[in-house]
Amino acid sequence: MRELKEEMSTPRIDKPIVVSDRNFDQTTKSYPLLVVDCWAAWCAPCRAIAPIVDELAKEYSGKVVFGKLNVDENPETTQRFGVMAIPTLLVMKDGQEVDRVVGVIPKNRIEAKVNAYA
């Protein structure tokens, strides 16, 4: 039982990791709680929320892993999850989507979503 618990613990990752069509399923299964920022380089609101995601990745290191999925480069995952507007934050718990945030919202509202599942 101890080995399983250690295996499912959250590593101390203090910056968003790159998530792609190729690694999405494995990544979501590797971390008990993962927040995926769906974004694009041309998207001004995505650039506005990026520093908040970076801050949260530092502050929640060891509890929650944050990732970034470029929607232009990863159309399969974008379509699979019905991402119609960006930025969209997908809250993934144990490999399943449990919540999402669409648009730019204040840091404290994102934290409230994350804390509901942490």
pLDDT band at 9 (very low <50, low <70, confident <90, very high): low
CATH of the domain at 81: 3.40.30.10
Say if residue 1's pLDDT is above 50.
no
Average pLDDT, the chain: 92
pLDDT band at 10 (very low <50, low <70, confident <90, very high): confident
What is the number of domains present in the chain? 1
Any domain includes 4: no
Which contacts of 16-20 are long-range, i.e. CB under 8 A and separated by 24 or more positions? Answer: 16/53, 16/54, 16/57, 16/66, 16/67, 16/68, 17/65, 17/66, 17/67, 17/68, 18/67, 18/68, 19/67, 19/68, 19/69, 19/74, 19/77, 20/69, 20/70, 20/73, 20/74, 20/77
Residue that wins the pLDDT comparison between 10 and 41 = 41
Any domain includes 2: no
Average pLDDT in the 97-108 region? 96
Q: Which domain holds residue 22?
A: 11-117
Any domain includes 3: no
| pLDDT confidence of residue 102 | 96
Any domain includes 19: yes
Any domain includes 23: yes
Catalytic residue among 46, 83, 91, 101: 46
Any domain includes 1: no
Say if residue 61's pLDDT is above 80.
yes
Catalytic residue among 43, 50, 104, 105: 43
pLDDT band at 5 (very low <50, low <70, confident <90, very high): very low
Any domain includes 52: yes
Average pLDDT in the 12-29 region? 96
Average pLDDT in the 74-89 region? 98
pLDDT in tens, 66-77: 999 999 999 999
- 5 three-class SS: helix
Any domain includes 61: yes
Q: Which residue carries 């990791």 as its tokens?
A: 17
Annotated active-site residue 38? The verdict is no
